[in-house]
Each structure stands twice: as structure tokens, then as C-alpha cells.
Amino acid sequence: MSAELQAGTSALALPVEPGQPMMGYGTRTAPAAAQHDPLHARALYLRGRSDCLIVSLDVCLIAPAQADAVRARLERGTRVPRERILVACIHTHAGPDTGIAALAAGKPAPAAAAALLDTAVRAGEAAVASAGAARLAHARAEARIGANRTRPDGPFDPELLVLRVDDARGAPLAVLYSYGCHPTALGPENLAWSADWPWAAGQRIADALPGANPIFLLGAHADVDPRTRGVKDLAETGKTSGVGFAEVEELGREVGEAAARAALAAEPARAAGAVGACSARVRLAAHQEDEGVRRLALAALELPPDTELGTNDFFRLETERTQGLPPEERRERIARVRAYLRGRMAPRFAGGAEAEVEAQVLRIGEARLAALPLEATVEVGREWKARSGARHAALLSIANGWLRYLPHERGFSEPGAHRHYEVLMSTFAADAATRLLDAAERLDRRLGAELSA
């Protein structure tokens, strides 16, 4: 491995306590009662011809404004430019409330959220401060803990991207790994803080490579759940349930052991110092309310067309008024309600009829990472890999904030698309993924030219 690279890493425990509200499931009604495994802010700083700073939080989601604030503070504290800082969430549904729902409603985030973001800043600063001579290696592996949740024959990408960072003596510093599967093995009945299956994956990596900081980055996962969950069916509202920690540990063990084996056999980077990042903003149109769609939603609930309902009322009534219907009819009626709610809610998340959405690209040796503030489907991730042309590539979801789901453009027109959860929970028009990938491809070319100059 080349020693032209500098690297530093850190892991700080997030300040969570029993009694605080959890985040991830609307059907969960009680606060956290215990802590199963510690939650962290993990950071990796890499400096070669340029530099980049990655901070990964063991939380479900943060808003773009929160990510922007963390990046601005890190820029001031470390002098790493904001566009070269990535703040990601692992998307555990057993983590603390970060206030994203309150912010979307125009309300302040809870006070506890500030301490979470403070920890992210301190972790990033500590990683930069600890940088020293380092070595880089790449690897790929496979794990099959996920399954497409939209349809049994739907796409699933088993690939793991693995980056191993060692100090100058060859001792492990960090293992950065990306995989596309929701960390939702635990269900709403769980009231213990946990990073879900990435907790167990990280343990396996740390056991196999003592001293390595296991840093998980969520890949293109929007339509992939742990295989324990099954197909996500609109006709089965209110039946979300998870598995216990023994099953969670088994899922994580599979990913962690695959990542560890790959890290131990990783190939030294041919250009370890080719490190950098850049970003650009893309103006995207949000879905909009439509009177005709509203009338269809009310008819699906057997309500007069002039009925006025709040968003929560629609969600409540879609369950109450479709119970007992044949599954096919129930799916269709709920889909009509969700199609209307998509148009009602999208501008709230986008901040208006349009939004400037950030696409970020990182190059780490031969690895190409495209980072987006959305939950990308498998097909979006596959297209990025094809466009990048790199052997080691991944699309990162929930990066620098969260603006809901990002289906591939053809996902809006495939059979049954109007009932697919990811389409119904998207924020932007059907061409959003194409336009963001176009921007990422341009950024990658620009970055390659800058790093090779």
C-alpha cells in the first residue's frame, strides 16, 4: 500500500438515555426504556491530493438544515471545505428523535437533538486532529440479509463495498463499509436503543481487525428490508413487527463477517492519495396537490368531495374505512389516499414547489461514492455503479440530510407502481433520480480531472 495518504478516525458515544423519545415508527407510542448497544458518531478523515471528512451517525434521519449546520461548524473548526464533508445517518429505527418531524412542521427540534449534533461535530474534529500517515485498500464482498420489499422478484443488490484504512505500520484504523438494506430488523415493539443489525456487523469487524473503527454507510436500500420483514403491503397497515436481538445479531454477523473477510484480503490502492470530494445543487420539482387526486382519495374513503381533512385524519381513516375489504380493493383505495398525501406533503419536505437538492461525490483511491439526501432504490444505486465505471463504487443514501424516497425514473411507470410505497413516499417528480445521477456523473469527471492534474 502507498503511504502518501493521511488518515484519522474517531468514535464518540451519542448522549441518549431511557425516557427519551425514539424515532422510526409512527406506531411506537412509548419512549426508550433501555439501551441494548451504544450509539455512536463515527468519523473518518482522509487527506491526500485533496481531502474529505465522513461522519456517520447512529440515528434514523436528520434534516438537510441540520446536516448543513454540522458541516458549517466542521468547516470552521477543521478548515475542511463544506463540500468535502459528508454527514450520513445509518437509519436505525431504534435511535433517538432528531426533531425532523418538528422541523418539517415549522417547529423547533427537541433540545436533546442539539447534543446529538454537537457529538457529530466533536467526532469530526477529533478525526481531523488525529490524522497521520496511513494506507488504503479496497475490497468487495456479498451478503444476503436483504430482500426486495416491493415484490418478491424485485431487484436486490448483495454487494458490499469495503475500504480498509491502516496506519503507517499496517495496524487497522478503520473499515468503511456500505450496504443497501434498511436497518429495520427491530420493530416498533422494541424500546431499547440500538444500531440494529449494523451494531452486530460492526462488532464482527472490530473482532476480526482489532483497533479498526467500523463505519457503516447506508447504500441504495429504499426498496430493500431485512429478509425477516417480508413484502411491504398496503393492505396490511398497522401490522409492522420486528424480530428479537438474537435474529438481529445473526443478520449483522453475516454482513460483518463478509466485510471483515474482504477487509483482511483487500487489495492495496494503486492511487491511495487520490482523495477528494465535491458537490453541486440540482433544482428539482416537488410533487404538488391536485384537486382531482384529492377527490379520488375522498371517494376511496367514501367521503363527500367537499370534506376537509388533516393529514393525520387521512392516515387514520385509510385504516379505519378500508378494514375488512378484500386485499386487492384495500390496496387500491389506500394507494389513492397516499397519492393525494404525497402531493400534500412533498412541498413541506422540499420547502416549496421546488428545492435545491445537493449531490455529492467522493473519490477515495479507486472508490467512487455518490451521496444523496434521499432514500435511493436499488435501481438508482445500480445505475450509479454503471455510470461510474469503477470496480469499487456505491451510492450512499440519507447523506447530508433526508428528503424522503428516490425511486428510479422507470419505477414510476412499471406495473403496479402507483401502489409501491417508495413511489408514494417520494418527494420529487419522476425525473429526479436521472437528474441527480447526471449531476453526480459530472462531479465525478470534474473531481477526477482535479485529482489527476
pLDDT, tens only, 273-318: 999 999 999 999 999 999 999 999 999 999 999 999 999 999 999 9
- pLDDT number for residue 271: 87
pLDDT of residue 3: 38
pLDDT of residue 62: 98
Band of residue 238 on the pLDDT scale cut at 50, 70, 90: low
- The confidence band for 348, taking pLDDT boundaries of 50, 70 and 90, is very high
Cell of residue 241, nine digits:
413487527
What residue ranges in 64-129 does DSSP mark as E strands? 85-89, 95-96
Phi, psi of 86 (to 5 degrees): -115, 125
For the CA atoms of 301, 303, 306, 312, what is the dihedral angle to 10 degrees? -50
| Mean pLDDT, residues 72-80 taken together | 98
Cell 432514500 belongs to which residue? 375
Single out the residue of 212, 124, 225 nearest to residue 162, CA to CA.
212
pLDDT, tens digit (0-9, with 9 covering 90-100), for 186-196: 999 999 999 99
Where would I find the beta strands (DSSP E) of 143-244? 146-148, 159-167, 172-179, 192-193, 213-218, 224-226
Average pLDDT, the chain: 96
The pLDDT tens digits for 400-414 are 999 999 999 999 999
What's phi and psi for 116, nearest 5 deg? Answer: -65, -45
Q: How far apart (Å, rounded) are the C-alpha atoms in residues 10 and 29?
A: 34
Given a cut of 50, whether residue 2 has pLDDT beyond it is: no
Instruction: Taking residues 387-393, report their average pLDDT.
Output: 97
Greater confidence (271 vs 333) lies with 333
For range 58-74, the mean pLDDT? 98
Domain range summary for the chain, segments of one domain joined by +: 5-280+357-452, 289-350
Q: What is the mean pLDDT of residues 363-371?
A: 97
Query: In a 10 Å sphere around its CB, with 0-12 CB exposed, 13-18 middle and 19+ buried, how is residue 101 labelled?
Result: middle
Question: What mean pLDDT do residues 82-91 have?
Answer: 98
pLDDT in tens, 263-281: 999 999 988 899 999 999 9
What percentage of the chain reaches a pLDDT higher than 70?
99
Pairing label, strands 405-406, 375-376: parallel
pLDDT at residue 166 is higher than 90: yes
